[in-house]
Structure 1
């Protein structure tokens, strides 16, 4: 067999030659070199964190793509801990379950997934063979229906790494734009040069070939087009699969999907992405953003091999990676979160052999055209292509996802990573809709289990917030309370999403979730601290009480979860002077509405979905989201003393940097021409300054009310006064947004 190096684009070759030149220059000089930007996979990696301005460093002042102790980043070297001279372990990996629904079962995907989930989730991944096929091939869709469709590939070094500060793996942009047909020709040529045939080879043979190649083969790199915006499902009315609910373009908007509550689309999460690969293109070990489900459809081409880890074994998986894959010097924090943080980069590849040796269950699937692969919440997975192929994937969430989503949100907060989804708001929206349903209707066992999951998660959330507000008010940790109506904003310390309540200063710059002690933080602005609470908090508490009263199982499960919950124990430690036995769940809490609190009024949001304002600045994550968890809360606030010149929006607005663009759903609500023009003018650099200026100007124009106390029974009357002032604020805000610039 003759092995040849992969055929690379002209731009990729030039980049590779530059790396070689830098390598030779490095042997003669110890100077600094210009960096080569890197790109990793979509999702919880760089999507959640602002990348460093000069790429990821490999060694000292050298950048990725430069050199590694005299070796270029594509060269293979022996990695003792991943020794794979014996490939017999491949035959010991069992297959995941495969399901063959009939056309009737296939009608509703989420109903069918509910049916198989109890069994399939125990394997982390499963395969579903579609009973109907697409009548319009993906190639026809991408070449004819989507005229001008092109994509850029990434160059993946085909090697293992030591995974220490001097040896990591990074994926580079190739710089070459392909059409679907051009990439297919290139990929097939590479396959034919290696195997003297364009035909398919046995999956077991190619699996051993892949691991042999990645350890000691001669191929230095492969190209992979991942995270390509778009879909290969046809728009033809004659295509049965495209017309079905299994079409990825509408999957997130299905009636049982939690993501239907989002008013804004997120590529790869609510909108599908394409994955176009060649021989040995790989997707590294990773877990889906926010521990979401994913569904992957294989449109055409060679098969893919998948490896999956059950969600219940995720902690064991991370422990093995931390102790036997990564060296301690690259971990950003201690414990299991350190490995999780590095895995989010989506460039970690290692043979499953090391997992088998440490009793971590691994399952595999060979996905062929016309087949779906489902990954379940918190299930790590990886894999590679057997040749040219095209797949499509999208995330989704059902009601049973909320407990897993909470775990992911807490981990992001510990690592100070910007979330992609507003978990707290999604939970509240779904729970409030659930509270309006008729209990007399007979639901399936799967439906009842999912609804119970929502109820328990919601009760836990509302119980925590009520207990926290009681403690904050009794301890005088805040000087007053404000009612707010806007959507989710981010904590300026841990970046977690805040929806039900949070603490803010009167300048609106320093948002804190209720998991921090505001008394220990000295605000740079010197302002007073205000406890901000949603105006409909009483309705939400009533719904939570209703869930507890109607189902004893909900209250019982909440009480069991509370015993080991860090949030509730944190409150007891934070306010030791307050006795827990003095607290009564859902008791009336007096709200002291202060003059300063008037400035904190927010914008009214739609009740039908999650507010669009989270994503108003979705292009930019917080500048400091990639820094480690602060040693103390005061240190966490230091980063906010100086506004960032390159930040395009307010620090407290919910923002995401998943991809380079975000598309908003079309709304039936008309937008005035003045508002439309003002939004266009301030979509750029000065949007944040304009918004803060508007709030301050509006505050000066509103007649301040004297401090007064109202009980829960008087909230409605106070809200009428508040809304009157709120309209004045909105009017001033639009006027200020029309200003040309703020320097």
Structure 2
């Protein structure tokens, strides 16, 4: 658990650089200057009052970059360290130990981020983190230089720490606003408000407490959701983002240029997606530039939000001790992306984290009820969200209409109402809400209607055609 080469003074760094191959530092990392910046937005206090409406406004432009920054016009009057030490005196967290190096090319470029570190209080970790010091004006070059030429040093990162550093004090203007991430995912315009349980990191925020060069590996959000990250305090953080329109190209490059060919199994790009989901793959963005993949960057400072858009891959690292907080959310334009993610999860037999089919149906019902009560949809309903939801809902209903028609043709099937909500298909792990089939004899494992039921047999040995449709 070391800080290899990080306890250096400015003089030692200068001497160290003179002894190294300056050609590598200055020339091989010139690609850094070729990565364009993502958009930065400065909402007025009036625009800031309704976050999801503001994000919908900037999304057509900002989503083309995968990530964007929003500079808050409101500051927190109660700092994160006060919230996490004085308001929550029992706050402690466990770190992950991260190797400060890249894996060799032509091997699986996967780092072991699962090594557990120690448990710390906020100030204990701050003191430890502040021992690591680099007096450099170009942290990005220093980071990638260490990652490529590092001597197997390690850093620690408090990642996925349950909790929030937003204050609920009535005098804290940011904490009282709708940008308080404790309530963000369940704002009226967010589809995640319909999730019936708390899911840390998805519906409820998590903290990320870092030190110099602690990093978050390349990943896309679960179910291609939006994410919002707030920088509470401390050193800056560098982000890289790849927009959704380049996601497939990104996965293809990772599959063929980063991972070993031994793992190129039948799923192709889906194999890369599944491995990237482990959040343990880190590589420099220059390989993306070399293969024409659009990539952008941001340097996030305290008081700034970073938004990642649906299906945008992103990665980054910290410039020193800092505290950030993040949560997911979903607005109307996410619905089609959510449908794509749901299909992909089922294809790879990955367990869903949120019940997409249930959320889609409930959102459609909400739109229907709202239009019936108010009578004028155009005045009271976000039209973009409405269109995206209706299109996906109609497509889902058309599928079930055809599937149910085929099953009803069998006299051995009976239909019953669904009283238990979402279940998981025992075959592909798809979340089933509208309809699924269960064996009439043992009622054990459900099968979704996306399969050829004639080929399916229950664990009890009976044919699923002799079943009940819910």
1:559 aligns with: none
1:128 aligns with: 70
Retained in 1: the 8 A contact 2:218–2:279?
A: yes
Q: How does 1:348-367 map to 2 (within 5 A)?
A: 348-367=281-300
1:278 aligns with: 211
Retained in 1: the 8 A contact 2:457–2:463?
A: no
Give secondary structure in 2 for the equivalent of 1:373.
strand
In structure 2, distance between residues paired with 1:505 and 1:442: 45
**By how many angstroms is 1:229 displaced?**
0.1
Larger Rg computed on CA atoms? 1
- The superposition leaves residues 234-259 of structure 1 with CA deviations (integer Å, 9 ceiling, x where unpaired) of 12111000000000000111111111
Aligned equivalent of 2:429, options 495, 510, 514: 495
1:99 aligns with: 41
- The superposition leaves residues 93-118 of structure 1 with CA deviations (integer Å, 9 ceiling, x where unpaired) of 00000000000000010010011000
2:259 aligns with: 326
Does 1:160 pair with 2:109?
Answer: no
In structure 2, distance between residues paired with 1:320 and 1:492: 33
Retained in 2: the 8 A contact 1:284–1:347?
A: yes
Distance 1:331 1:316, change over 3 A: same
In structure 1, distance between residues paired with 2:244 and 2:337: 10
Does 1:464 pair with 2:399?
Answer: yes
Distance 1:494 1:441, change over 3 A: closer
Give the TM-score normalised by the residue count of structure 1: 0.58
In structure 2, distance between residues paired with 1:525 and 1:165: 44
Retained in 2: the 8 A contact 1:484–1:532?
A: no
**By how many angstroms is 1:165 displaced?**
6.5
- The superposition leaves residues 486-524 of structure 1 with CA deviations (integer Å, 9 ceiling, x where unpaired) of 200010010000111111113122211111112112333
Does 1:222 pair with 2:164?
Answer: no
**By how many angstroms is 1:471 displaced?**
1.4
**By how many angstroms is 1:275 displaced?**
0.2
Structure 1: 5+ residue stretches without partners: 8-81, 196-200, 535-743
**By how many angstroms is 1:148 displaced?**
1.3
Give secondary structure in 2 for the equivalent of 1:189.
coil
Retained in 1: the 8 A contact 2:38–2:65?
A: yes
1:243 aligns with: 176
**By how many angstroms is 1:85 displaced?**
6.4
Distance 1:238 1:431, change over 3 A: same
In structure 2, distance between residues paired with 1:329 and 1:83: 33
**By how many angstroms is 1:190 displaced?**
1.4
Retained in 2: the 8 A contact 1:213–1:219?
A: no
Moved over 2 A (4+): 3-7, 82-85, 162-168, 172-175, 330-334, 441-444, 476-484, 521-524, 526-534
Aligned equivalent of 2:355, options 397, 401, 422: 422
Retained in 1: the 8 A contact 2:238–2:318?
A: yes
In structure 2, distance between residues paired with 1:177 and 1:523: 47
Give secondary structure in 2 for the equivalent of 1:312.
helix
2:460 aligns with: 525
Q: Which has the higher contact order (CA 8 A, sep 6+)?
A: 2
- The superposition leaves residues 671-719 of structure 1 with CA deviations (integer Å, 9 ceiling, x where unpaired) of xxxxxxxxxxxxxxxxxxxxxxxxxxxxxxxxxxxxxxxxxxxxxxxxx
Over aligned residue pairs, what C-alpha RMSD do you find?
Answer: 2.1
Retained in 1: the 8 A contact 2:25–2:145?
A: no
In structure 2, distance between residues paired with 1:150 and 1:188: 18
In structure 2, distance between residues paired with 1:397 and 1:500: 21
**By how many angstroms is 1:159 displaced?**
1.1
1:370 aligns with: 303
1:505 aligns with: 439
Give the TM-score normalised by the residue count of structure 2: 0.91
1:393 aligns with: 326
